[in-house]
Structure 1
Amino acid sequence: MSSRSRNAQRYLPLLFRGGGRGVVLFAFAALAASLTSGCIPQSRAAPEPLEENHPPKQHHPTLVSLNPCTDAILAEVADPAQILAISHYSHDPRSTSMDAAEARRFPATRGTVEEVLALKPDIVLGSTFTDPATASAYSRLGLRLERIGMAMTVEENHAQIRQIAGLIGQPARGEALIARINAALAAAAPPAGAAPIPTVVWQSGGMVPGDGTLIADVLRRTGFANFAAARGLGQADLLPLERMLADPPALILVAGRSAETGQGSNIGGDDRVLSHPALSALKTTRRAALNPKLLYCGGPTLIAAAQRLAEVRSSSPPARPELVEGGGGPSQMVEGHPRIDATPTGRDLGPVPLHQLRWSPSPCRGGICG
């Protein structure tokens, strides 16, 4: 028999001798004993109610970006405090995909392991081209590397923005950027029923972007037909000047260095192919400057690309330069346009070797030359 039972038998008669008062005292004593001995389980503390109007805060990781394309997206969707560093390319006006002044708000690295490790980011945003040895070093040191691929279509660009915005805890800002891009593309779309303009995007050295590229998709959406892709040329293929002259498109978008401003009297700049005088002799072809920075990255770059292409499409081409008989004398201006001396005898352009052509540049309007 337990000690508790023995005590009950010992004191029970004494309690009942006192009548009702004893019974009550016994009841209270029994209740106190049970509470202290654990016979009746104690109730758990009620959890504090969640505040419905104040959901848990989402973690916003810190980042180092190694790619100018992701730099530009981060500048749109991340908090400035999240961006510990961007790529050194974005500090270079020749290679940045964002406003240079905006880029200088953030430190830059060359992506070395030592630089990145010192910053202690939560995430390193690289690309599919990140050096394998560097990626391996990041992994050994406990740095999380996320490789961001190259978008080849507008849809892939949108998926990429969502991927980055999700990684950094800013999904709503990612959707807002996508909405701005869609609005810019819609505003740049051609009128219903308008025929696409056969167009070559011609880069330095005669290089062209073929089909299956982001700029090719943007061209299609804004009313242009990829002339190079239709002739079997792929990404980074070369289109020789002779082939361009023999089979010219309706429009050449010149993406040389001097096209970065979209202005200038010679939109081919110092590139011997893009600025060749024979191009001015193409009576049915006009030329327009296209900033080469608009060719490779998605994100906010697509907004600027759509706006520029809409501007080119809506611009009326100036009067065509005319071929005139030159008699071998110095080049002259004819009604404000370049005079091209075809040959010393003033023959047609067709059989003339390209090196015999002479050209005097004239101002173009808004980066568009006839």
Structure 2
Amino acid sequence: MSVGRRIDVANALALAIALTSAAAIAYACSPRTAVGGAAIAVAAPTIVEALPDGGVGVRGSDQVAVRVADYRRIASLVPEADEALAVMGMVDRLSAIGAYSRGHSVYARHLAAVPGTIASGSGVEDVLTLKPDLVLVSAFSDPGRTERLRAAGIPVFHLGSASGAAEAALAVRRIAALCGESALGDRQAERFLQRLARVADPALSKTAACYVECVGTQLFLASAGTNQSDILVAAGFEDAAARVGYRGYGECRIEDLLRIAPAVIIAPVGSGATLAGLVGSAGIPAIAQHRIIEVDAGLLSSPGVAMLDAAEAVAAGRGRLP
């Protein structure tokens, strides 16, 4: 930015600093939060930025900045955004949520007061009918629909692809900041990370575990850089797959699990019997010793603040292992 440009936005920048200064101080003094003994970087303190027209906004994952405003008719196509608004007590700002959140979110009871439901496969006209003042989308949303909504004059904020506790905390801060509630978002994000860090029983050893998902006859592994990995680490386990070089989410084979040799497997409900029945699986320590923790699939796959609920469920399951 040129010197002249900096002068042009000086007032707006001052407002942005006023909105975020308290949070910046807190985050600068404590830049990392330990989750299950592993340090997770907290997002950079600057969320609100000056806009060219003198206003302030928040930049989405698609690099499009959306103006900060008192949004009261938010149409959300992102389940983790619905969870974030629920934990912050901001459900009254939602005018519609997706069908998944309506029927499957761990916060469904809190979201029941939201009047509208966006059905799977809904088009632009369906969303416009809701008369939203803001639409929340993610990396899984149709980019063409996003462009058409913006062309119709609707602000659309892109939350990206959440992948772990730090990203979940960032989503909380972004959503709150968009609604002019930066301080609330900062507090809730820090509270989420701190509570996640306290889930594990410090008296227990960090047993090697991994997350495995069965889809028909296919196996999928989630390791470092995923919400499932952060969940099992928060519950007090060591990520066995990350220890031997695996990262991310993808298809795996029995041979991979034999190499990883987890003492415990974390899996969606109903997966234990399937895993035990696979040829060669008896050589996997967790299966041979019947040490599989099964948790609700939706909870384990949540990339949002429901990760805390998932970690607590995994930690509770550890206490029931033989």
TM-score range, shorter chain: 0.5 to 0.7
Matched residue, 1:211: 224
AA aligned opposite 2:141: T
- Could you tell me which amino acid in structure 1 is paired with residue 117 of structure 2? A
Contact 2:226/2:249 (CA < 8 Å) preserved in 1?
Answer: no
Tell me which of 127, 144, 154 is aligned to 1:133: 144
Partners in 1 of 2:321 and 2:106 — Cα distance? 30
Is residue 225 from structure 1 mapped to residue 238 from structure 2 by the alignment?
yes
Counterpart among 146, 149, 170 of residue 160 in structure 2 = 149
Q: Normalising to structure 2: TM-score of the pair?
A: 0.66
Which amino acid in 1 is paired with 2:76?
Answer: S
Q: 2:253 aligns with which of 230, 234, 240?
A: 240
Of residues 160, 171, 174 in structure 2, which corresponds to 1:163?
174
Q: Could you report, residue by residue, the CA deviation over 1:200-250 in whole angstroms, capped at 9, with x for unpaired residues?
A: 211123111122112223333432121223333333322323543576311
SS in 2 for 1:206: strand
Q: Count matched residues.
A: 245
Q: Tell me if the contact between 2:71 and 2:133 (Cα under 8 Å) persists in the aligned partners.
A: no
Structure 1 residue 169: Cα displacement:
2.8
1:20-53 CA distance string (max 9 Å, x none): xxxxxxxxxxxxxxxxxxxxxxxxxxxxxxxxxx
Q: Is the 8 A contact 2:266 2:314 kept in 1?
A: no
- In the alignment, which residue of structure 2 is the partner of 1:200? 210
In structure 1, the gaps of 5 or more residues are 1-57, 260-266, 319-370
TM-score when normalising by structure 1:
0.58
Instruction: Give 1 or 2: higher strand fraction.
Output: 2
Pick one of 295, 307, 321 that aligns with 1:317. Answer: 321
TM-superposed deviation, 1:195: 3.9
Deviations 1:66-115 (A, max 9, x none): 121212212233534321100122134xxx33333444432211342112
- Misfit runs of 4+, over 6 Å: none
Bigger relative CO (Cα 8 Å, ≥ 6 apart): 2
Partners of 1:133 and 1:247 in 2: CA distance? 41
Say which SS state the counterpart of residue 271 (structure 2) adopts: coil
Counterpart CA distance in 1 for 2:292 and 2:249 is 20
Q: Distance in 2 between matches of 1:234 and 1:186?
A: 22
> Aligned residue for 1:358?
none
The Cα shift of 1:298 comes to 3.8
Give the alignment of 1:273-288 within 5 angstroms: 273=275, 276=278, 282-284=287-289, 286-288=291-293
What CA distance in whole angstroms lies between the structure 1 residues aligned with 2:305 and 2:166? 14
Give the percent of matched residue pairs that are identical in Structure 1 and Structure 2: 27
In the alignment, what sits opposite 1:333? none
